[in-house]
A and B are shown apart, each in its own frame.
Chain A
Amino acid sequence: MADIDNKDQADLDPADMEDVEEVEEEETGEDVNSKARQLTAQMMQNPQILAALQERLDGLVGSPSGYMESLPKIVKRRVNALKNLQVKCAHIEAKFYEEVHELERKYAALYQPLFDKRSDIVKAMYEPTDEECEWKADEEEELTVSKQEEMKEKAKVEEEKRDEEKEDPKGIPEFWLTVFKNVDLLSDMLQEHDEPLLKHLQDIKVKFSDPGQPMSFTLEFYFETNDFFTNQVLTKTYKMRSEPDETDPFSFDGPEIMGCTGCQIDWTKGKNITLKTIKKKQKHKGRGTVRMVTKTVPNDSFFNFFSPPEVPESGELDEDSGAILAADFEIGHFLRERIVPRAVLYFTGEAIEDDDDDYDEEGEEADDEEGEEEADEENDPDYDPKKDVQAECKQQ
């Protein structure tokens, strides 16, 4: 039987199609390339050629402008014209971000009534109505509960009733403290001795700089009256750079935090948890006599958040302070963008699952190096308490 050569698919009888099996395929129009491919395959097997290729590639790595250098001068000239246009774009972008900031200020005023209501509920100044408390998710959860869990629920409900008869918790106790504990970024700063204080934290607000002022935002921490300090509000202001850097205009990617200031805390006597007293035994090198010295040294505490390292005139920071500031900026940004706007979701934990998905662990930076040394502080005349502040935090 004759071959039906080169018939177009469309012309064939569909019935014919059923009983065929494929034997062989070839692509048309690819014959020219197959020789090139063969040659390339051979080349890739030659170690000398591979090495030469690798060298060439290495030469290009880290110098993307390697290509640029090879451009004719007349073209490079035009590329520079485009770069100048790009600088103009960066300045327009800066104005865009200023307007976004104004938009954020405008919307802050729209969110504020809702945040105020939140604060009133937390502080027990307002009891929400039944309608305001209806949340469908509860119903769904109950439907899927198994018999075993039903019994557990029943036992729990009875327990709760008994609890409620004992004490009537006001508002949402320890709301912000719980948020702090749930969020890694914040719990890392939290020390045990901070907790009794943070129970008094009633609200955190974000305030935006006014038009015409240099761009900044302020975090306000509102505390109810307490034994520890007399301030009602503790503040932290973050200053932002909202213009491209003249020497590096293309690094501009929107406003960036570049500095911050805290506030003075009026501690009640003996209650300043950012300080601790230590006793040191000191031995006189010459005479051999021993004496006891009492020193006040910085203590690890969340409340150091309100006295961040200062950036000196020269703009140069030591490595430790640099790291502390970088972490501080991250926290300020996080409080503003995520915590304050969505506090209840961090209280329940719902938002934490989301955040975990967005951020991959990049491996932890090894900053434990100093933490494990347990030098004999007492007998070391060179002991510098400041170095130990970070180490102590790991030990606790």
Chain B
Amino acid sequence: MEGDHSETRGKVGDQVMQNPQALAALQDRLDSVSHTPSTIESLPKSVKRRVNALKHLQVRCAHIEAKFYEEVHELERKYAALYQPLFDKRRDVLSGAVEPTDEECDWHSDREEEEELAEELKKKAAVEEKKEEPVVEEDPKGIPEFWLTIFRSVDMLSDLLLEHDEPILKHLQDIKVKFSEPGQPMSFTLEFHFEPNNFFKNTVLTKVYKMKSEPDPAEPFSFEGPEIVDCEGCDIDWNKGKDVTVKTIKKKQKHKGRGTVRTIIKQVPNDSFFNFFNPIKVSSDGELDEDSEFTLATDFEIGHFFRERIVPRAVLYFTGEALEDDESFEEEDLEEGEEEDHEDDGDEEEGDFDPKA
């Protein structure tokens, strides 16, 4: 009887191979299968059944994994408290509030010795010159422009930095990471601490990143640990005329009918790092246009980068040592994603007149 089966199959097979529609359908099927290496569809039903049982077990694993990540988060909170005294000391040193002792500044490195030698030579050569130059330099307090330098050195951050942001960022004294408490929905907050300044009254600007820490019931296997899904900024209490996130433009308008011309003044958004504290809100249905999605995705990446790399290792970004490490990863990023050219002048394109603006 087996012979009969295979013969019939053979005949049908021949017919199928001669029928273009059938061939097309087959091709479709093959194309869709080529990404599924193991031909699950060809498995006997009894085996497929057991595979499904394994998938159920896998969903249960995903839920255990979620609890694992919650505990990791708690561990991170616990260790944040252990790092904090060191970060507080860092802030005190760079702000000039505390002068470290010689012992605390002892750093052994060959480079240092070379630098010292070089400096000795320079000093000797410059002795004459120095006598002529008036002493201009003040005694610099702490480490001037510490955080601003980091912003300038790190591509991801310098991309956000505009010239008019720099005077403000000179007043940035510390960036802290705070973790959500047990029992609260998982999140972390970046706190930007500023010394008193002419630009705004706040002493702290905050950005909260909310995370999803449970598998999605519709797609339990895509769960890979907590993921940033939303963020919230804060209101900046700008002093009058100091808001760098807006600019005034003059527009000349011609009345189509009457032909008269008038000039109006408008306030439009201005590019600035400080828009970081006014992020796009994810709408209730979760739908965003492509540009907004990209902007938000970049924002999440930056938040993550602040938390994981910048705040914990700030001095290494200041000196540039960490940049060499990160470089290889950053380059991969650029290759993957689409490089979108964000036109600053989007609002001022012709024909963009919006009476409601």
Q: Which residues of A approach B to under 8 Å, CB–CB?
A: 1-9, 12, 14, 16-29, 64-65, 67-69, 72-75, 77-86, 88-89, 92-93, 95-96, 99-100, 103-104, 107, 110-111, 114, 117-118, 121-122, 127-128, 132-135, 138, 148-149, 156-157, 160, 162-164, 168-169, 171-173, 178, 181-182, 250-251, 341-345, 347-354, 360, 362
Least distance between B140 CB and chain A CB atoms (Å): 6
Enumerate 17 A-B pairs (CB-CB under 8 Å) in ascending A order: A6-B265, A9-B264, A17-B355, A20-B262, A26-B249, A65-B319, A79-B319, A88-B86, A96-B76, A114-B57, A117-B57, A160-B44, A182-B37, A251-B325, A342-B61, A351-B221, A360-B332
CB contacts (< 8 Å) of A118 on chain B: these are 54, 57
Selected from B36, B75, B93, B250, the residue in CB contact (under 8 A) with A28 is B250
CB-based nearest B residue for A81:
B100
CB contacts (< 8 Å) of B261 on chain A: these are 3, 23
Least distance between B86 CB and chain A CB atoms (Å): 5
CB-based nearest B residue for A84:
B104
CB contacts (< 8 Å) of B248 on chain A: these are 28-29
Least distance between A116 CB and chain B CB atoms (Å): 10
User: Is the pair B107, A83 in contact by a Cβ cutoff of 8 Å?
Assistant: yes
CA A250 to CA B324, docked complex, whole Å = 12
CA A173 to CA B37, docked complex, whole Å = 16
CA A156 to CA B43, docked complex, whole Å = 10
Least distance between A172 CB and chain B CB atoms (Å): 5
Is B121 close to A, CB under 8 A?
no
CA A128 to CA B111, docked complex, whole Å = 66
CA A109 to CA B5, docked complex, whole Å = 51
CB contacts (< 8 Å) of B67 on chain A: these are 107
Given A25-B348, A92-B83; A133-B264 close (CB under 8 Å): no
Least distance between B48 CB and chain A CB atoms (Å): 8
Q: How large is the interface on B (under 10, 10 to 19, 20 to 34, 35 or more residues)?
A: 35 or more
Query: Taking each of A6, A29, A86, A362, which has the highest tally of chain B beta carbons within 10 Å of its own beta carbon?
Result: A86
CB contacts (< 8 Å) of B350 on chain A: these are 22
CA A114 to CA B76, docked complex, whole Å = 27
User: Is the pair A107, B68 in contact by a Cβ cutoff of 8 Å?
Assistant: yes
CB contacts (< 8 Å) of B279 on chain A: these are none
Selected from A93, A104, A138, the residue in CB contact (under 8 A) with B52 is A138
Least distance between A186 CB and chain B CB atoms (Å): 12
* Contact bitstring B71-86, A, C-beta under 8 A = 1, else 0: 1100110010011001
Is B117 close to A, CB under 8 A?
no
* Contact bitstring B160-178, A, C-beta under 8 A = 1, else 0: 0000000000000000000
CB contacts (< 8 Å) of A135 on chain B: these are 52, 55-56
Given A103-B71, A348-B51; A89-B320 close (CB under 8 Å): no
The 7 closest A-B pairs by CB, nearest first: A64-B320, A128-B53, A81-B100, A80-B107, A4-B262, A17-B355, A135-B52
Is B297 close to A, CB under 8 A?
no
User: Is the pair A107, B93 in contact by a Cβ cutoff of 8 Å?
Assistant: no
In chain B between 79 and 102, which residues have their CB closer than 8 angstroms to a CB of chain A? 79, 82-83, 86, 89-90, 93-94, 99-100
CB contacts (< 8 Å) of B61 on chain A: these are 111, 114, 341-342
User: Is the pair A78, B93 in contact by a Cβ cutoff of 8 Å?
Assistant: yes
User: Is the pair B47, A172 in contact by a Cβ cutoff of 8 Å?
Assistant: yes
Is B335 close to A, CB under 8 A?
yes
CA A78 to CA B14, docked complex, whole Å = 82
15 more contacts with CB within 8 A, not counting A8-B265, A19-B257, A79-B315, are A6-B250, A9-B264, A9-B265, A19-B255, A65-B321, A68-B319, A73-B119, A79-B318, A85-B315, A111-B61, A133-B49, A133-B53, A138-B52, A164-B45, A344-B58
Selected from B51, B57, B93, B322, the residue in CB contact (under 8 A) with A81 is B93
Is B254 close to A, CB under 8 A?
yes
Is B142 close to A, CB under 8 A?
yes
CB contacts (< 8 Å) of A347 on chain B: these are 38, 51, 54
Given A6-B265, A14-B355, A89-B312; A77-B105 close (CB under 8 Å): yes
User: Is the pair A348, B250 in contact by a Cβ cutoff of 8 Å?
Assistant: no
User: Is the pair A64, B324 in contact by a Cβ cutoff of 8 Å?
Assistant: yes
User: Is the pair B64, A111 in contact by a Cβ cutoff of 8 Å?
Assistant: yes
Selected from B40, B89, B267, the residue in CB contact (under 8 A) with A348 is B40
Least distance between B310 CB and chain A CB atoms (Å): 13
CA A111 to CA B91, docked complex, whole Å = 43
User: Is the pair A78, B94 in contact by a Cβ cutoff of 8 Å?
Assistant: yes
CB contacts (< 8 Å) of B139 on chain A: these are 74
User: Is the pair A89, B107 in contact by a Cβ cutoff of 8 Å?
Assistant: no
* Contact bitstring B313-354, A, C-beta under 8 A = 1, else 0: 111101111111100000010011000000000001011010
Given A78-B94, A352-B37; A22-B254 close (CB under 8 Å): yes
CB contacts (< 8 Å) of B263 on chain A: these are 3-7
User: Is the pair B322, A107 in contact by a Cβ cutoff of 8 Å?
Assistant: no
User: Is the pair B258, A1 in contact by a Cβ cutoff of 8 Å?
Assistant: yes
CB contacts (< 8 Å) of A95 on chain B: these are 79
Selected from B25, B115, B316, the residue in CB contact (under 8 A) with A86 is B316
Least distance between A189 CB and chain B CB atoms (Å): 16
Given A20-B253, A81-B93, A351-B221; A121-B53 close (CB under 8 Å): yes
Least distance between B329 CB and chain A CB atoms (Å): 11
User: Is the pair B100, A78 in contact by a Cβ cutoff of 8 Å?
Assistant: yes
CA A181 to CA B39, docked complex, whole Å = 12
Given A21-B254, A163-B44; A85-B60 close (CB under 8 Å): no
Is B240 close to A, CB under 8 A?
no
CA A342 to CA B64, docked complex, whole Å = 13
CB contacts (< 8 Å) of A72 on chain B: these are 137, 140
User: Is the pair B319, A12 in contact by a Cβ cutoff of 8 Å?
Assistant: no
CB contacts (< 8 Å) of B275 on chain A: these are none
User: Is the pair A164, B221 in contact by a Cβ cutoff of 8 Å?
Assistant: no
Given A67-B320, A89-B83; A132-B45 close (CB under 8 Å): no
User: Is the pair B252, A18 in contact by a Cβ cutoff of 8 Å?
Assistant: no
Is B143 close to A, CB under 8 A?
yes
Least distance between B35 CB and chain A CB atoms (Å): 6
User: Is the pair A25, B83 in contact by a Cβ cutoff of 8 Å?
Assistant: no
Given A3-B262, A7-B264, A12-B264; A86-B313 close (CB under 8 Å): yes
Least distance between B181 CB and chain A CB atoms (Å): 19
CB-based nearest A residue for B266:
A9
CB contacts (< 8 Å) of A103 on chain B: these are 68, 71-72, 75
Is B245 close to A, CB under 8 A?
no
